[in-house]
Amino acid sequence: MVCTCSASHNTNNYMQTVDHILNIIFPPDEKPKVRQYISGPIDSGTSVKLICSIAGGNPLSTLSWDCPGINSNNSTVNTAVLEVEFTVDKNYNGRNCSCSATHPIATYRPKTRHELVVYFPPGKPNLIMKPEMPWFIGNTTEVQCLSTVGNPESTFEWKTDDIILNVNESELSLGPLTKHDNMKTITCTVSNEFTERQSIVLTSDNTLLNVEYFPDITIDKSPEHIMEGNNATIVCSARGNPVPHVQWFQLDNNITEPQINQSVLHLLNVDRLLDGMIYSCKAMSSSNKFDSLSSEKTTKAIVYYTPNITNLEVLNGQTVSENEAVTLRCEVDSNPASTLTWRFVGNPSILQKQDDVSSSNYIIPKIKCVQMGTYQCQATNRINGTTSIDIKDIVVYVLCK
């Protein structure tokens, strides 16, 4: 404002004026205003510009920032403006940068704060097993994905053998475990908005699951069919964790030495006495955590052999009286069971035929003199397409009236 002092006098037409400009010192009416040049969260590793401004006051206020950086004074005639630019890292998240204003009026000392929101990635995840491996089938356990916290909040993705699991949690529950879970790979990927924008992938190292279980036994032939006189091999394989040792037993006596994963039983020049023999394959593994793990499976030897008539007799004696009942018995040893056929040599037509029997009786209710003579028992079986026969004769004598 200009104040003018005027003087006049009634003589000599005297008129003079003097101007005086008033310089009033006063502070602004408001506090400083702070804004971020690009609003919103800032990615770690990038720069941010903060602008502090305040209008009015005489003289203009002096501005200062408490966050170190490159300062730029862009004040105008009526507005004090001070910018600061600096690069942020995760330690700046939540930090307050304050702009302070000072003025010759000592009572004017306002300060305006601006809180920084910095986005930064979580740390590379690490898998923690609870409890520690090895695990055992049937159990349920947890895998924890540990990662240092990022901003914003992290999301989690789990994979087993590259199959994505629908679980967005830092802890994954697995179970009940099966033997098929053993040796599966498991990984955890941690991400947030920062990693997605920066195309950063944070994945744990692949971890192989160690699930222990009882040996699983497979016998290649069960039962084992063998032709008498031939050789045979029976292979027993076992899969387990830990790796099992496999061994053959017969009547609780070991008949092979223990071998890893597989044992072969050799049967040489097989005799019919082995028919029906039971062989046991045992697989055993030793776990440091779960002690001894064992399984057992049996197989039976079925020996095929040709017919052998072991007994042919007349139960009530070879000499009988006319009209007496006569019973002829034929017993045979064979595998598979034989078909028995009875014939009267004097009349070679079939008297009687019985299928798949080991013994057969032929009964003559009342024998006649014309029925005296030789009777024949024929045993027949078929093995692998080959027919084998054994025949024996017996004579029946009749005391005729």
**pLDDT score recorded for residue 221:** 87
Instruction: Note the pLDDT of residue 346.
Output: 80
pLDDT at 8: 87
CATH number attached to the domain at 33-118: 2.60.40.10
| Domain 126-209: CATH superfamily, name plus number | Immunoglobulins (2.60.40.10)
* Whole-number Cα distances in Å, 67 to 8, 37, 75, 84, 143: 61, 15, 19, 8, 43
Give the mean pLDDT per block of 10 residues along the chain (401 residues): 90 88 94 96 96 96 96 96 97 97 96 97 96 96 96 96 93 95 97 94 96 97 93 96 97 94 96 95 96 96 96 94 94 95 86 88 93 94 94 94 79
Residue 368's pLDDT is what? 93
Q: Are 216 and 142 in contact (CB under 8 A)?
A: no
Give pLDDT, residue 92: 97
The values of phi and psi at residue 66, to 5°, are: -95, 0
Predicted confidence at residue 9, as pLDDT, reads: 86
* Position 176, amino acid: P
The residues near 10 (Cβ < 8 Å, ≥ 6 apart) are none
- What pLDDT, on the 0 to 100 scale, is given for residue 87? 97
As a CATH number, domain 214-304 is 2.60.40.10
pLDDT of residue 196: 94
Strand duo 155-160 + 163-165: pairing: antiparallel
Beta strands (DSSP E) in 200-290 are 202-203, 207-208, 211-219, 224-227, 232-241, 245-250, 253-254, 259-260, 262-267, 278-287
Residue 275 is predicted with a pLDDT of 94
| CB-based burial, 78-98: b 16+ in 10 Å, e otherwise | ebbbbbbebebebebbeeebe
CATH class of 315-399: mainly beta
The domain ranges of the chain are: 33-118, 126-209, 214-304, 315-399
